[in-house]
Structure 1
Amino acid sequence: MIKPVKRVQYVSLPSAEHPYSHLIETLKDDTTKFFNPQKLNDPRYDKLPLSIRVLLEAAIRNCDGFHTKEADVENILDWQQQQDKTEVPFSPARVLLQDFTGIPAMVDLAAMRDAVAKHGVDPGLVNPKCPTDLIVDHSLQIDYSKWSVKNQELELGRNKERLEFFKWCSKAFKNVNVVPPDVGAVHQVNLEYLVVGTDSHTTMITAWASWAGVSVGGIESEAVMLGQPVSLTLPRVVGCKLVGSINPLTTSIDIVLGITKHLRQAGIAGKFVEFFGAGVSQLSAPDRTTIANMCPEYNATVSFFPVDQYSEVKCQTLQVIELNLNSIVPHVSGPKRPQDRVAVSRMKEDFQSCLDEKVGFKGFHISKEKQDTCVPFLHCGQEYQLAHGSLVIAAVISCTNNCNPSVMLTAGLLAKKAVEAGLVVKPYIRTSLAPGSGMVTHYLNTSGVLPYFSQLGFEVIGYGCATCVGNTAPLPDAVVDAIKQGDLVACGVLSGNRQFEGRLCNCVRANYLASPPLVVAYALAGTVGIDFEKEPLGVTSEGKEVYLRDIWPSREEVQQTEEDTVISSIFKDLRGRMEKGNSLWNNIEYPDSVVFPWNHRSTYIRPPSFFSKLSKEVPPPQSIENAHVLLFLGNKVTTDHISPAGSIARASAAAKYLLTPREFNSYGARRGNDAVMTRGTFASIKLQNRFIGKPGPKTLHIPSGQTLDVFEAADRYQRDGVPLIILAGKDYGSGNSRDWVAKGPYLLGVRAVIAESFEKLHKKQLVGMGIMPLQFLPGDSADSLGLSGKERFTVAMAQPGGPSPGQRLTGKSFCVTALLDTEMDVTLFRHGGHLRYVARTLL
């Protein structure tokens, strides 16, 4: 069992000029020195929440008078007065990249070497200043659901150019470490570090007190890599008091989803959460990690679980939310969003209501006469039937559960009891098991449950993100045909934390998040339309009905198995695999050069155009003149709608560029090719563009009146020299962070986004690429202002020096607010984003 330990902030001895050198103390070993903020003798320190103390310690250590100033330290100390008002810097000790977001970051750095070399500057000066780890875990695709070695060979084959580039990066750049494929998922192998990471699961590290892991976009991570701190609004801190005892049938995932809903309803977006109360002691370190992992889903920035006895007195300064753990019962989430929880006991009736309701976050609007549709089909010579609610994907994957042995072992023991009871999973269901790392496979094997997973079809397919990022193997043709024939709402169930509609597979409309044992249970049932209490999972060959309660393992059985199998040696084995790699990776050749020798025929790796026409001088601010609207969007536009993800559709603009279907691969694998990614921006089949009136990646080219692919319309506007803007509603850019949500629109020619409200991180990403986020005034919207979207828009800079923080910019007939919150935001916008800012500092 992993146990949390209190971490001491170690530092190298700074120079005498350091403004806080008087806080330095030496540990008993007489060699290690650290800053002790208690020596400030400031009464405000004792009243600071633990999470704010971590920010304070980091600011003291990194106080250089430039990126971090004494005024920043003072602002953090004055947290009670400055929260939600002041921006403070956070300088991480390490950057964590998964390969989907890592490759564009590395491509940008390689292109920056080219750019500075053209100006006569040594390209070898372009290196990450902050130690950076890149874990190759997102390129795995499930080509073979029962042959993990073959999956690995295909992964290395289809991604050869990317892997050669990664190998070059690990040798050419200082401070870059690449963890090769087939070692484990990014968040599994990095729980022991202090990080800022591009993966949405980076926040898992905050479950261990005094560690801070912040999930940011690829653009922000690139800035940190190059020596800039992350800018955080000094947050409010919410105390979450856990009381009561855990129900014996409740898994850690149930607790996670319960807390997620509770906190989301409390409205804690952008805040830090500190958990305390008697209930915390019932949560193991993996439990806490799983809860912290869901930070993006309840919109918190950081979740902290203090190791020390938490002071109730300290909580008097906080907003406190109380949650009784005994009130949490098994739930799933879906069918389209993580926050829409459904008690397992109500799942059957809730799915029925989803069929009845109008199309929306919960509804599919299937007419009554079509709700009983059943479509027969043949699979492997045997006839089966599909209906609404039939399960076609069941994936136990790494996202939420890899760090929590209890839920994985519960699923394994359930599988064992199911096999022993004579139950089977229908062979057409696309089952898979993608552990977070070899460590998970090790304890599943040692405990004896792995063979039973396999007998039910849950074979280990490899190590990395697969189903959760849309890399599911294609469903059998007969299954796809049956779904289309009956216009069926087919279902997927996965143990992850992302399941937006269409993300798993285009033809699977209803997707549910569930704990690993419930994934196995629904796979056995073959449908989500089941009441586990009243209906059997299946019938044995002898005709005996088997209910879920008959095979559900007890909490005591799970705990004993965990104690017997999850031992320290497997963690050492994992680290050895990280360092050793594998023969396929070790044999990859790479160019030996300071600048990367681009292959201009490559469809995977291309130098992006971000540095074209880069000047040493900062260009003067320019107004946006006579822009057209590229897209007229509504509320809740997510990063899944904006950024390319999953497979490349054959009729898409990206497919037309690539030409050959066998070369398509996935958008994630091609994030190092700006031509593919730009064509995939806003290419979601679920995009609701008001110009078109139905879902799809199309828009109106206003001058011609033609309906075109978004890329084709944008390309035509750019060739005509017409700037573009986007109109949107509330919560623009919600969802997990991706760098292409800003890079893609920038390369499409978008200069500004006007929305009713923005997701905070996405707003920062837009500024980081030089796109202006503009917000309608309170009460205003495109509809209230009578906008059709077909107008021409001019955004005039109100001052000769350009926009200032919070300044309102006046358009032709209405006002908006420029969301440039800090002087750094203004500086980045004037430079045209992070990348040009950093390149100019080198020039």
Structure 2
Amino acid sequence: GKKVRRKDVETLANWNAKAPANEEIPFVVARIVLQDFTGVPLVVDLAAMRSAVKQVGGDPRIIEPLVPVDLVVDHSVQVDFAGSAQALQLNMEMEFKRNRERYQFLKWGQQAFQTFGLVPPGIGIVHQVNLEYLAKGVLATATQLNGASARVYYPDTLVGTDSHTTMINGLGVVGWGVGGIEAEAGMLGQPVYFLTPQVVGVHMSGELREGVTATDLALHITEMLRAQKVVGKFVEFYGEGAASLPVADRATIGNMSPEYGATMGFFPVDGESVAYLRATGRTEEQCAAFEAYFKAQQMFGMPRKGDIDYSVDLELDLADVQPSVAGPKRPQDRINLPELGDTFRSLFTKSAKDGGYGKELDTLTRRFPIHLNGDAHPDQPEMEPSSVQSPTDTPTAMPIGDGKFIGQTVGDSEMVTNRPTATPADMIAETRAPEFKDGESRIGHGSVLIAAITSCTNTSNPSVMLASGLLAKKAVERGLRVDPAVKTSLAPGSRVVTDYLNKTGLQTYLDQLGFQTVGYGCTTCIGNSGPLDPKIEKAINENDLIAASVLSGNRNFEARVHQNIKANFLMSPPLVVAFALAGRVDIDLSQEPLGKDRDGKDVYLRDLWPSLQEIRDTLRTALTPDVFRRLYKDFSEQNPKWNEIPSSTGEIYEWDEKSDYIHEPPFFKDFSMEAGSIEDIRDARPLGIFGESVTTD
């Protein structure tokens, strides 16, 4: 074919594990997945192309993605409200006010393009939705064979405009994250190019010990593979240990490929992969085709040691994995749970150039009293240092109704930061709902001020989610409570999580500890943590506190989670609940109590931690295929607010010149059917040269 030459196929077929050819491989993907912040510009480009075609008298409908494209809206919800039964509804209302123009545009795209699917806000996170619903394992297309109708089957492959697209590798589907230009090329049928990779084989043996979670395993692997320098390489996990892992655990490991630096973190297709498709409500025909295709290609089953040649061979005994967290600034900096207190104290006094905070040890125990009244209005002096900003009422800003506008540069700033602008304080005040908790607290260095069960990395895994609920149940039954200064939140990656937490009765215990559902999206993991109580932010800023967040996410770079939280730790959902109860990170939870029960007795983590048998017994009743079929059937019914968004219809988008968010791109100005000339680029220079571990946060 024109896109893939015979030479390309031969080069890959002759792949040498120890010395891969220095050749680019053209990779034509079967489909594309997008999230809303990186996906909107791509849809804008498609709309602009249609306008250009119409301008020269052509049929706009010739502009159409040549492979199926699915966009999941998950980056726009923000935790403005938390710790109340109304949090989900209030956050969704704020989300729809802030993003009205973007959602109108996406709704137009949904009806304009035949191969463009859209999962509206409030359904889930793109990677979890991809795993539970969008992925098919194999795809088929109709063709003619010897004059008769036939179907050609080919593997489900993809790229996505988000680095954690690799989560789908846990199902045995090839895919990774790319930039917008590459994704757009893929949408238009062009290959994605990559250098013939080295493949690192990680042989897994043994089993995880009691009390060790998939999150602990993912953090262990992240530390291990970072040290092995796997950047730009493919990683394949195999062996008896890999075969013993359920797909949910494999997906957690695949999800964190960007954190350990690999292009992919891949698990081969085996019986567990097919069982997952069946358990998540895929049709029997789809499951049978998935299994039959990979068996026919002799690619079915988990390889054992010696079956395959790898560029690099590594060993991992699952029994070596320990309960752990990672932080406070990088996901590869794993800390065994008993060592967290000592590690934090050590970093507290180390210099900034050594990765520390440069503080005096005798200040670590200082505590500052704060009175929290649950409210924050724009006229209160405490609002000044808060991350909640007042709106800029200018005609060129984003309209939010009633003649009001949000910040003049909202479009630019959101595209740069890849996260929503802060919700205006007066918009929040209009809800008349308390934004923060009330009560008395004392905070200082090491205080946990954000505790978030969030991110597709972990909320896609029922075992750790149920573990967090079981731990919350035991804590509530012992009379434990979370300090009001801790901003607690639960943001599931899909509505399936809510269904099984409700069905098992565990959500009520999470609610009692403040972990009410705040939204179905990325939230705190991508920095959409929303504001802290202004009195807390004032105390942090005035006393230069090294405060902490604990989250079940995948990244913890400084200022990513919240601009005033300097120590951020990744951990499993049950540990998030445990640290919320403890209220601080300078603690050894294996030896020190995390609180006192209603009788004044010390309560330890071991008293609350659920056994593997408890988790399995609960899991048995929690999930059925019908739940997935029901919750992924009718999106409009699950989020009526999406139905209320008006939108233009037709093949051409009606550009609004007054918008500061969605403009017709200038690429096709004075477009003609005559090819232009490509000129040499001379005297170009880099705008910046950066060292290691520089992030966009």
- Give the TM-score range, shorter chain: 0.7 to 0.9
Unaligned runs of 5+ in 2: 137-155, 271-300, 374-437
Confirm or deny: 8 A CA contact 1:332 1:343 kept in the other structure: yes
1:142 aligns with 2:74: no
Paired residue type of 2:214: S
Q: 1:309 to 1:501 in 2, by over 3 A?
A: closer
Is the CA contact (8 Å cut-off) linking 1:538 and 1:545 kept in structure 2? yes
Counterpart of 1:420 (choices 465, 469, 477) is 477
Whole-Å Cα distance in 1 between the matches of residues 327 and 671 of structure 2? 47
Q: Is the 8 A contact 1:415 1:453 kept in 2?
A: yes
Distance, in Å, in 1 between the alignment partners of 2:67 and 2:97 is: 31
Cα contact 1:183–1:577 (8 A) shared by 2: no
Distance 1:359 1:619, change over 3 A: farther
Matching residue within 434, 439, 442 for 2:496:
439
1:207 aligns with 2:202: no
Which protein has greater RCO, CA pairs closer than 8 Å, 6+ apart?
2
State the alpha-carbon separation in 2 of the partners of residues 379 and 639 from structure 1: 34
Deviation at 1:613, TM superposition (A): 6.1
1:84–1:490 distance in 2 versus 1, CA, 3 Å: farther
Answer whether contact 1:373 1:486 (CA < 8 A) is retained.
no
Q: Which amino acid aligns with 2:696?
A: D
Aligned partner of residue 456 in structure 2, secondary structure? coil
What is the distance in 2 between the residues matched to 1:492 and 1:625? 46
Aligned residue in 2 for 1:810: none
Q: Does 1:177 align with 2:233?
A: no
Residues 206-285 of structure 1 mapped to structure 2, 5 A cutoff: 206-209=169-172, 211-285=173-247
Which residue of 494, 501, 504 maps to 2:561? 504
Contact 1:91–1:229 (CA under 8 A) maintained in structure 2: yes
Shift of the alpha carbon at 1:386?
1.2
Determine whether 1:635 maps to 2:683: no
3-state SS of paired residue (1:323): strand
Identify the match of residue 32 of structure 2 among 80, 95, 103.
Answer: 95
Partner residue of 2:551 out of 494, 498, 522: 494
1:660-739 aligned within 5 A: none
2:348 is aligned with 1:411: no
Shift of 1:247: 1.3
CA contact (8 A) 1:335 1:362 kept: no
| Equivalent in the alignment of 2:535 | 478
Aligned to 1:198: 161
State the shift of 1:362 in Å. Answer: 2.9
Report the CA distance between 1:560 and its aligned residue. 1.2
Query: Offset of 1:234 from its aligned partner?
Result: 1.6
Corresponding residue number in structure 1 for 2:392: none
CA contact (8 A) 2:203 2:305 kept: no
Q: Is the 8 A contact 2:210 2:611 kept in 1?
A: yes
**Letter paired with 1:617:** A
Following superposition, the deviation at residue 360 of structure 1 comes to 4.2
Deviation, 1:517, is: 0.6
SS at match of 2:347: helix
Aligned residues: 574
Q: Structure 2 length as normaliser, TM-score?
A: 0.79
Counterpart residue number, 1:351: 344
From 57, 64, 76, the equivalent of 2:12 is 76
Alignment correspondent of 1:466? 523
Q: What is the letter of the counterpart of residue 635 of structure 1?
A: G
Which residue number in structure 1 is paired with residue 675 of structure 2?
617
Query: Is contact 1:423–1:539 with CA below 8 Å preserved after alignment?
Result: yes
Alignment of 1:454-603 (within 5 A): 454-578=511-635, 580=637, 582-603=639-660
Q: Unmatched 5+ residue regions in structure 1?
A: 1-64, 642-843
Q: CA 1:173–1:563 in 2, change beyond 3 Å: closer, same or farther?
A: same
Q: Distance in 2 between matches of 1:66 and 1:309?
A: 34
Correspondence 1:152 to 2:85: no
SS in 2 for 1:576: coil
Partners of 1:131 and 1:602 in 2: CA distance = 29
Taking the aligned partners of 2:228 and 2:314, their CA distance within structure 1 comes to 8
| Partner deviation per Cα, 1:433-492 (whole Å, 9 max, x = no partner) | 000111001111111110000000000011111111211121001101111121100111
Cα distance in 2 for partners of 1:131, 1:524 equals 45
Contact 2:325 2:569 in 1 (8 A): yes
Pairwise CA distance, 1:274: 1.8
Matched, 1:371 2:307: no
Q: Is the 8 A contact 1:334 1:512 kept in 2?
A: yes
**How far is the alpha carbon of 1:609 from its aligned partner?**
3.5
**What residue identity is the alignment partner of 1:556?**
Q
Change (3 A) 1:613 1:581: farther
| Cα displacement (A) at 1:382 | 4.2
After TM superposition, give the deviation of residue 165 of structure 1 in Å. 0.4
Residue 637 and residue 246 in structure 1: after superposition, are their counterparts in 2 closer, same or farther (change >3 A)? closer
Q: Quote the Cα distance in structure 2 between the aligned partners of 1:182 and 1:354.
A: 39
Q: Is the partner of 2:127 in helix, strand or coil? A: coil
SS of the aligned residue for 2:200 comes to strand
SS of equivalent residue, structure 1 residue 134 = strand
Query: Displacement, 1:142?
Result: 1.5
Deviations 1:278-308 (A, max 9, x none): 2123211111111111111111122222221
1:652-685 CA-partner distances (Å, limit 9, x unpaired): xxxxxxxxxxxxxxxxxxxxxxxxxxxxxxxxxx
Q: SS in structure 2 opposite 1:108?
A: helix
Deviation of residue 116 (structure 1)? Answer: 3.9
The 1:281–1:620 alpha-carbon spacing in structure 2 relative to 1, beyond 3 Å, is closer
RMSD of Structure 2 on Structure 1 (CA):
2.0
